[in-house]
A and B are shown apart, each in its own frame.
Chain A
Amino acid sequence: GAVVSQHPSRVICKSGTSVKIECRSLDFQATTMFWYRQFPKQSLMLMATSNEGSKATYEQGVEKDKFLINHASLTLSTLTVTSAHPEDSSFYICSARSPYRAGTEAFFGQGTRLTVV
């Protein structure tokens, strides 16, 4: 399958600081990327859909000023958690989908464990 690389895998930050998470599609061009949040023992919750060259579409209840998404190229999307607080601690996962690869498969990154102290 396709390779999606997410970095960093783990990050610990202090309250009030910002954290940037990168999501790269390594072997295909991803016109659409998705950002999810996952709490322990729960399913993936879609936060936003990121389209290359345009503004992200956020799901209801997700603060776009807090979770900044940039999809500047066909292989890179970034999620910046601004002014992080302990309640933002979670597992963040990106996925990438390309219309040029055999349909609608979404390939996931390894995830980023964010801990805000």
Chain B
Amino acid sequence: GENVEQHPSTLSVQEGDSAVIKCTYSDSASNYFPWYKQELGKGPQLIIDIRSNVGEKKDQRIAVTLNKTAKHFSLHITETQPEDSAVYFCAASSGNTPLVFGKGTRLSVIA
């Protein structure tokens, strides 16, 4: 089955700097890669996703890149703000299979 590895587990950046979180997956059949933000005591919130027919997607300060050959995808947050502090999860799935999550990255943006 699918296995998703996520790094780093914790990340601290200064406000205004960029943050990058990386994930790798094992199943070449996976074709959907969402990223979720989870704040304390809340459910995960979808922030951006990418499908395997696209190499990059951007939404304001957030971007995701996908390298199908290397089986890795990354989340990029630019101009970070304190409210970006949260736990971020990557995930992968193929078709209607359940999402397989990475272990999460705790991002702290220091003002």
Residues of A within 8 A of B (CB): 1, 4, 6, 32, 34, 41-44, 46, 49, 93, 95, 97, 99, 103-111, 113
A43-B89, A111-B42 known, 15 other contacts, Cβ within 8 Å: A1-B46, A32-B96, A41-B106, A42-B104, A43-B101, A43-B103, A44-B89, A44-B101, A46-B99, A103-B32, A105-B34, A105-B49, A108-B46, A110-B42, A111-B43
In angstroms, Cα B97 to Cα A46, docked, is 12
CB-CB under 8 A from A46, the residues of chain B are: 98-99
Residues of B within 8 A of A (CB): 32, 34, 36, 41-46, 49, 51, 89, 93, 95-96, 98-99, 101-104, 106
In angstroms, Cα B93 to Cα A49, docked, is 14
A104-B36 contact given A43-B103, A110-B42, CB 8 Å threshold: no
Q: Looking across the interface, which residue of chain B has its beta carbon closest to that of A112? A: B43
Q: A109 touches which one: B41, B43, B104 (CB < 8 A)?
A: B43
In angstroms, Cα B52 to Cα A104, docked, is 12
Q: Looking across the interface, which residue of chain A has its beta carbon closest to that of B32? A: A104
The smallest C-beta distance from A23 to any residue of chain B, in angstroms, reads 10
CB-CB under 8 A from A93, the residues of chain B are: 43-44
CB-CB under 8 A from B41, the residues of chain A are: 111, 113
Q: Is the CB of A110 within 8 A of B43?
A: yes
The smallest C-beta distance from B95 to any residue of chain A, in angstroms, reads 7
Q: Is the CB of B95 within 8 A of A104?
A: yes
- In order of increasing CB-CB distance, the 9 nearest A-B pairs are A108-B43, A111-B43, A104-B32, A43-B103, A108-B44, A110-B43, A43-B101, A93-B43, A44-B101
